[in-house]
Amino acid sequence: MNLSRRPPWRICQLHQPGLVPYQTAWQWQQRLVAERRSDRTLSDVLILLEHPPVYTLGSGADPRFLKFDPAIAPYEIYRVERGGEVTYHCPGQLVGYPILNLHYYQLDLHWYLRQLEELIIRVLARYGILAGRAAGLTGVWIEGRKVAAIGIKASRWITMHGFALNVRPDLKGFEQIVPCGIYNCPVGSLAEFLPDIQLGQVQQDILEVFAALFQVDLQPQRDRLLA
């Protein structure tokens, strides 16, 4: 008997479709969650992608955190099911949408939020960056600058939405909002600390750490997901 052999890990389908409009990815998530609410034997899914510039607000987000008139917004705006306030997505930011059945992990949303933070913290540790949490807040910070935002939704313990890590985005879009509803808390990116950092390498690191942290076998999918 090979005692070093680990037990089978849960299968997690991996989709990396590149740059995708926010509404399209949102519809993908809604469909995937609905399917898994009906059939809990289906595999988990991780979607890792980028979005064109867009603002999103959580279900209970305060519109006062927008610094512009929504009627003449510089980019599209969506109010979605996740928790949290307003945030900004754009190219150069890696966005992850785990569709996980928490019955196979822990039925605890606080645990899940901390796991997503831990994912980012461990990824950044690979680059020698000491990242951490802020008391009472959700997300990941480096030297007082927020580099990763996290907002989730669970329906019958099936998760959607997820995390957004600023690798090397144009941060100007954040100037038009109060990010995550937190005043006097600057937003940062990894490129500010590591100017040569590459998006592709960070993407690979996220996949490796995600697989180990959640103990899943990521299986890349060649299709165009639900397009």
> CA 100 to CA 46: how far, in whole Å?
8
Query: Is residue 3, in this structure, part of any structural domain at all?
Result: no
For residue 37, the tally of other CB atoms under 10 A from its CB is 14
pLDDT at 1: 38
| List of residues 6+ apart from 194 with CB closer than 8 A | 127, 129
Number of domains making up the chain: 1
For residue 64, the tally of other CB atoms under 10 A from its CB is 10
For residue 39, the tally of other CB atoms under 10 A from its CB is 7
Query: Is residue 5, in this structure, part of any structural domain at all?
Result: no
**Domain of 198: which CATH number?**
3.30.930.10
90 in catalytic set:
no
Beta strand segments in 51-196, E: 54-57, 76-79, 86-89, 93-99, 140-142, 145-155, 158-166
Question: Quick one: the chain helix, strand, coil %, rounded to 5?
Answer: 30, 30, 40
Query: Is residue 17, in this structure, part of any structural domain at all?
Result: yes
pLDDT at 2: 45
Query: Is residue 2, in this structure, part of any structural domain at all?
Result: no
Its domain, for residue 133, covers 10-220
Query: Is residue 92, in this structure, part of any structural domain at all?
Result: yes
In order along its 227 residues, the chain shows pLDDT tens digits of 344 556 689 999 999 999 999 999 999 999 999 999 999 999 999 999 999 999 999 999 999 999 999 999 999 999 999 998 999 999 999 999 999 999 999 999 999 999 999 999 999 999 999 999 999 999 999 999 999 999 999 999 999 999 999 999 999 999 999 988 878 789 999 999 999 999 999 999 999 999 999 999 999 998 766 55
Query: Is residue 116, in this structure, part of any structural domain at all?
Result: yes
User: Contact at 8 Å (CB) between 140 and 148?
Assistant: yes
pLDDT at 227: 55
**Catalytic choice (12, 90, 180, 185):** 180
